[in-house]
Amino acid sequence: MRRRSKRAPNISESTGKIGQQLPSNQPAPLVPSYPDDVQAASPATQQPSEKRQGTQERKPRSDWSAPAAQGRLEVETQPADIPTAPATGAEGGERAQEAPKGVVVLAIGLPGSGKTTWFGRRGVSPLSSDLLRGILFDDVEEQRYQGLVFSTLRSMLRARLIARMPWNYVDATNLSVHERRQWIKMAKSFGYEVHAVFFDVPLEVCLERNRKRDRSVSEDVMRKMAEKLKPPAFEEGFAKITVVRVKNPS
């Protein structure tokens, strides 16, 4: 009887059998290579522009401004008109030493703060946790597999970065620094710039909008999420922060 030779343990994620022995008559699975080179293949991406300073002290939401650091800060008011396409090339006479391969945009805000509307006005189809729940479980309200949902969402973003897609949008609440860290780390590892769109909308406005939804979140959960919400800061790694507010929130 022929003895089957042993091979090293399988460490490929692609097989789903990490640590198991591969039979000798089965070729080793292909393992993708993710190059560390962050030099841009084509520099048709947005260049870093003028740098503005925020304040270090955190203020109430209605007066919030970004902590002091290098980055770009913009403020919008809901509803906003559809903007023109992002400008390319250096702004203000500045030229980056190394152009990013593209941009990853993170939405940050409570349910009912206007994230989906903001994307819709711009004709953007973001990577969305709700959309993914519908695809995976046929139910956008399914909450039992949050780890699976977001690990799949990160895999989808990674695939876009490998494909060098220039603009990438993530539609999720992204309430805490911890939740945002993995997105930022991934984007920067591929040489991408990271932008934040912070929906600085009062809790009472979000609650009122939430009550009118067919698919609403309980008020108790909303208030707990509001306590967890931390505004983005340039120190997290954002190159640009856009703050979206409502007209006459009272």
- 10-residue stretch averages of pLDDT, the chain, 250 residues long: 52 43 53 47 42 42 57 75 38 55 96 94 92 89 87 96 97 95 96 97 95 87 95 97 83
| pLDDT reported for residue 189 | 97
Task: HSE, CB side, 13 Å, CA atoms: give it for residue 49.
Answer: 15
Q: Which of 107, 152, 156 is nearest to 133 (CA)?
A: 152
| pLDDT reported for residue 40 | 41
| pLDDT reported for residue 29 | 52
Which pTM was predicted? 0.64
| pLDDT reported for residue 58 | 44
Helix (H, G, I), strand (E, B) or coil at 195: strand
| pLDDT reported for residue 130 | 86
Instruction: Report how far residue 40's alpha carbon sits from residue 102's, in angstroms, rounded to the nearest whole number.
Output: 9
- Order of strands across the sheet that contains 167-171: 72-78, 240-246, 193-199, 103-108, 167-171, 127-128
| pLDDT reported for residue 51 | 41
| pLDDT reported for residue 243 | 97
| pLDDT reported for residue 99 | 85
The DSSP string of 14-77 is GGS-TTPPPPTTSPPPP----------SS--SBPP-------SS---GGG--PPSSSSEEEEEE
| pLDDT reported for residue 114 | 94
R_g over Cα of the chain = 21
